Each structure stands twice: as C-alpha cells, then as structure tokens.
Amino acid sequence: QNDGYDLLRGLVLNLFKDQGIDYKIATGAGEIDLTTLTPEDAQDLIADDGYFGVEQTSQRIFDLAVGIAGGDPTKLDAIKAGVDKGFQEAYDAFGGWLPDISHGTYDAVMKKLDDWAGESDSQAS
C-alpha cells in the first residue's frame, strides 16, 4: 500500500513542479512540506480535529464569510449563496464529485451560519 502512495505522491509532486506550484501548504501552525508528507500525516490533517478536518475547515470558512459580510446577520442569504457558489465551483472543478469530507464541511458551515443567525435573532429580541 505504501508503494502506491509513494507513486501517487511522486506523480502529484511532479505535476506541481511542472506547473510551478510550491510543495508547501500553509497551515495555522506553519507549513506542511508535501515532499515529506506520510500517509499518517495526511490522515492526521483530515481527521475530525485536523487542520483540514471538517471542524477547523468549516470554522475558517464561517469566519471568512461572516467577516466579509461585516458580521451582519441580515446578509445570511447572501452569505449562504456565496458558500453555495464556492462549493459548486469546487464540485465542478472536481468533475462533478466531492469527497465525503467536503460534504461534511459544507453541512457544518451551514449549521454554523444558522446557529449564528439564530443567536443574533435572539439577541435582537
């Protein structure tokens, strides 16, 4: 199984190199070097509590979306439309398919937005 992983990683890294794309991904805590990423490291990154897991990724999307809207809950429909558009573009870019983690992230973002709007409504009352 590691041979297949190593082969795939090599192919992806060569594609990145050919396109002039860096081998490093920025995270909140620093950078990840794709040339040394192990299957275990990758699994940790997408785990529930990992940097690219549903919780942390949905929180980053939520924070960005609410920030762009100026923290105004009356813009909830526009925020959701923007999130929908972003996920649709990702879906299209991946040929009409997204992994389960992406669907989970979408659902978590929408729940965070609904919870935020609900809290704002109750504070306004």
Virtual CA dihedral for 48, 49, 54, 60, nearest 10 degrees? 180
Residue 64's pLDDT band, with cuts at 50, 70 and 90, is very high
pLDDT interval class at 1 (50, 70, 90): low
Its pTM stands at 0.78
Size of the chain, expressed as the number of residues it contains: 125
Tens digit of pLDDT for each residue in 95-118? 999 999 999 999 999 999 999 999
The residue ranges of every structural domain in the chain are 1-46, 47-125
User: What is the average pLDDT score of the chain?
Assistant: 87
Q: Could you tell me which of 97, 124, 53 has the C-alpha nearest to residue 61?
A: 53
